[in-house]
Amino acid sequence: MVNTPMPYDRSRAGALPPSLQRLLSEPTQLLPRPVRNLPQDEFTALNNLIYELGARWSKEARDIKFDFEFRAVEQERRRVAKELHDEILPNLARLIRSVQSQNDKSICETLVDELHATVAAFRDLLGELHPVDLEELGLTPALSNICKRYARMTKRFVVFVEESETCNLPELQQLCIYRAIQSVLKMFAASQNDILLLKHDHQDSTTILSVRCIDKSVLDAEWLSCEKPEFNVFDSWCAMSGALVAHGVSRQINEFPCDLIITIAESAPQKEDSTKTLGLFAQARLYELHIILEYAKEEWTNLIIKDRPLFESLAVEAERQQISGEINKSILPHLDNIRHIVSLSDNQTMIDDVSEKMQAIANSVAAVMTELHPRLLAEAGLIPSIRTLVDRFRRASLIETVIASNLPSEQLDISLDAKFAIYRVTQEALNNVEKHSGATHANVSVEQNGSELVICIEDNGKGFQTPRSVLSRGLKNIKERANAIGARVSWQKAPTFETGTLVKISLDCAEEQG
């Protein structure tokens, strides 16, 4: 039985849109005469539609909060990946070169092997944090690569079977599915199973991912238990992507059952309009509820936006704790092994050198996780920070480097984010000079010409060898950081030296302020 609702409280009507004010304050003037007894089939259809409308509103309300939390977390993961790449890998590379120059071969070979294993672990961690291959190659190659990475990390069989290369999902959906599969792989890594099969297929504009543990060392339900935190993460990513998840089923009669089947339609299916089966009164009640929920959603959105900084900071802090856990689990054992190996040496000079560089690595990790660098940059200023960076680079790389600037003091009227991006771009460019150029001299200049700030990093090395279409991760970081602040970056032959490369970053300060 459905009755006409009581008139809406007029004291609140002023806060509502005019159409909703009229509808809720005087429903009897807008709606037909109430029908006390609806037919059973119409009553059931109305209840189903109300339930569906409420469930959809609930999902949309959760997605509003999850969407910006998701973006904040992804931005933090990308930041940490870039920071670790810029800070840690150059220090490890310098440490490897320093150890290789020592005479104690018995210790050095073991130590260099462990350092290379540490570099590989760091690169695996960077891949976990920021899936560059997903952005460049798409979902299918990225899934293949992550399976290979987990096979290497776990030393077990993780097999990716590609039934189809086709995938027309938008970028956001691809990222959500990638993160969902990443959660599945983490659950597999924590289990005692030996073989995981991940199969990708594409049928009738639908992407299908099947997951199966073939060699069972534990019960079927154990490794995919809903009580595991990673399973909740998996479930959230699937919900965000709009994927349907089935457990323990088979799509074809001649296939063994799969632990998971994830199905993602490339476009939402068109639903038949069930309201046509309802009478005029039931349609009016449903329309009224729809307007009320739309207003509630608007209020909820405004409330969430008001508290957005709080929600984002909580989500980012939780993500930092998780990343710290991943670092402790995947990196610290290697660092402990390095300290143990070097302690066996009788070469005190090598012990002191390795200990100093290991402390620098530990400090860099701590700084990345607590965002110390932006604060230090704010205190010292951009030009003094770059001078310190160049001095540290000169001592660490033994490449004679000169810095020149027509800004002797901090006169730049640009944001802290822009200063930090410029600092990192300069650091990454110098790292590339050290790693790839074979240079003996480098020049760094920071100049302001009118409203344009120009930073040039020039070396006398062998020149730019990589095709523009196949940029290294370091060069991609340079482009991403420059693009993020509206700067332009270019590579060309060094004009000062006979050979070498010039990296030029140009930023319109007036445009950056705007």
Say which residue the tokens 């990475």 belong to. 149
Of 503, 486, 477, give the one whose Cα is nearest residue 414: 486
At 468 the pLDDT is 46
Q: What is the CA radius of gyration of the chain?
A: 29
At 246 the pLDDT is 83
Contact 505, 493 (CB under 8 A): no
Contact 88, 365 (CB under 8 A): yes
For residue 490, give the 3-state DSSP assignment.
strand
Please state the domain extents for the chain: 17-168+279-370, 372-513
User: For residues 431, 434, 438 and 441, what is the CA-based torsion angle, rounded to 10 degrees?
Assistant: 100
3-state DSSP of 165-197? CCCCCCHHHHHHHHHHHHHHHHHHHHCCCCEEE
Beta bridge partners of 449: 452
What is the distance between the alpha carbons of residues 3 and 491, in angstroms, rounded to a whole number?
A: 73
Residue 214 CB-half CA count within 13 A:
11
For residue 147, give the 3-state DSSP assignment.
helix
pTM above 0.75, yes or no: no
What is the distance between the alpha carbons of residues 159 and 292, in angstroms, rounded to a whole number?
A: 50
What is the distance between the alpha carbons of residues 282 and 448, in angstroms, rounded to a whole number?
A: 69
Of 228, 165, 156, 149, give the one whose Cα is nearest residue 202: 165
Residue 39 CB-half CA count within 13 A:
7
What is the distance between the alpha carbons of residues 366 and 31, in angstroms, rounded to a whole number?
A: 65
Distances from the Cα of 67 to the Cα of 172, 234, 308, 355, angstroms: 11, 15, 11, 43
Helices and strands, counts by H and E, the chain: 17, 10
At 272 the pLDDT is 54
CATH architecture of 372-513: 2-Layer Sandwich (3.30)
What is the distance between the alpha carbons of residues 487 and 426, in angstroms, rounded to a whole number?
A: 13
Residue 490, burial from CB neighbour count under 10 angstroms (0-12, 13-18, 19+): exposed
At 88 the pLDDT is 86
Dihedral angle sign, alpha carbons of residues 93, 95, 96, 100? positive
Residue 280, burial from CB neighbour count under 10 angstroms (0-12, 13-18, 19+): exposed
For residue 241, give the 3-state DSSP assignment.
helix
Q: Which residues contact 350 (CB under 8 A, 6 or more apart)?
A: 99, 102, 104, 107, 342
- Say how far residue 253 (Cα) sits from the centre of its chain: 38
At 16 the pLDDT is 46
Residue-by-residue pLDDT tens, the chain, 514 positions: 333 333 334 344 344 445 445 444 544 443 444 444 566 677 777 777 777 777 677 666 666 666 777 778 888 888 888 888 888 888 888 888 888 887 767 788 888 899 999 999 888 888 888 888 888 888 899 999 999 999 988 889 999 998 877 788 888 888 889 999 999 998 888 888 888 899 998 888 888 898 888 776 655 556 777 777 778 888 888 887 888 888 765 545 445 567 888 888 876 555 555 556 666 767 777 777 777 777 777 777 777 677 777 777 777 877 888 888 888 888 888 888 888 888 888 888 888 888 888 888 888 888 787 776 666 777 778 888 888 889 888 888 888 999 988 876 666 778 888 888 888 889 888 988 888 888 999 999 998 888 888 999 999 988 765 544 445 667 777 888 888 888 888 888 888 888 899 999 998 876 665 5
Burial 312-349, CB ≥16 within 10 A → b, else e? beebbeebbeebeebbeebbeebbebbeebbeebeeee
Q: Which residues contact 213 (CB under 8 A, 6 or more apart)?
A: 188, 191, 193, 195, 196, 197, 220, 223, 259
What is the distance between the alpha carbons of residues 497 and 68, in angstroms, rounded to a whole number?
A: 48
At 169 the pLDDT is 83
At 33 the pLDDT is 42
Of 461, 502, 129, give the one whose Cα is nearest residue 325: 129
